[in-house]
Structure 1
Amino acid sequence: MGWMNRGAAAGGTTRVRGAAAEDVALAHLQRAGLRLVERNYRTPGRGGGEIDLIVREPDGTLVFVEVRARASRSQGGAAASVGAVKQRRLVFAARHYLLRWPAPPPCRFDVVAIEGDRIEWLRAAFDAGG
């Protein structure tokens, strides 16, 4: 039984499926040595953004992670779904998040793409100029 089926069994909502995909992505990142800092960070107010996962590399780099899940590549692929508008919202949310840091660490934006039972981790998928 794959992660998509677990989400469907728990009610099948987009939110449930998204949370299941985030669980899979987080476990993948943690196996690679990253540590969870925050999950589902949202900026206040309308028109802001949300960051699915904020994790930290062993070297201190803060990584803002967008999790994208698709049942198959027939929908264009999970990684391809992070367009310019989504990137701008992620950058906005990351900048807002970093306001709490007196001296922000090195940062990057990654995408964890889940397609069926395949996980692809795209490091530095885009930059803040996005």
Structure 2
Amino acid sequence: MIKQALNKLQAKRSRGAQAEQRARQFLERAGLSFVAANISGGGGEIDLIMREQTTLVFVEVRLRGNQRFASASESVTHSKQRKLMQAAQYYLQREKLTDKVPCRFDVVALQTLDSEQQPEWIKNAFGAA
């Protein structure tokens, strides 16, 4: 039973890593530059940090095959947004970038890992209120 749970967790992590790689490639083709991935701190984790010209873009990557309750983009709850903003603040402080660079939060949503499927890119999906 424990082995089965570990296998399921490993499969989920693998799918998540594949989704992040697809999102990164998609954003790079759109002209963004890669900065960092999987930054943890401040109570949250940022999947991707990209740069679009002078703007630092914090990207949440969502993969949702089952849309029964919400689409991938709708699954970024207020609680998740708060954690992402805390992690971004942590990163900005760590890198001594606070008040020096414009930032935004984007969501890249994938319904499948199929390379033919176009990701949904929501620029400036949410922000600090």
Q: Does 1:92 align with 2:90?
A: no
Poorly superposed stretches of 4+, deviation over 4 Å: none
Structure 2 residue aligned with 1:81? 75
- Where do 5+ consecutive residues of structure 2 fail to align? 1-8
What is the SS of the residue equivalent to 1:73?
Answer: coil
Identity %: 49
Structure 1 residue aligned with 2:122? 122
Give the stretch that moved more between structures: 73-82 or 61-70.
73-82
Shift of 1:104: 2.7
CA deviation string 1:35-85 (max 9, x = no partner): 1100000116xxx1000000000x210000000011243342100100010
Opposite residue 128 of structure 2, the aligned amino acid is: A
Shift of 1:12: 6.1
TM-score, length of structure 2 as denominator length: 0.83
Counting only pairs closer than 5 Å after superposition, residues 96-111 of structure 1 correspond to structure 2 as 96-99=90-93, 100-102=95-97, 103-111=99-107
Structure 2 residue aligned with 1:25? 23
Number of aligned residue pairs: 115
What do you get for the CA RMSD once the two structures are aligned?
Answer: 1.7
Structure 2 residue aligned with 1:50? 45
Opposite residue 75 of structure 2, the aligned amino acid is: S
TM-score, length of structure 1 as denominator length: 0.82
What is the SS of the residue equivalent to 1:76?
Answer: coil
- Where do 5+ consecutive residues of structure 1 fail to align? 1-10
Structure 1 residue aligned with 2:3? none
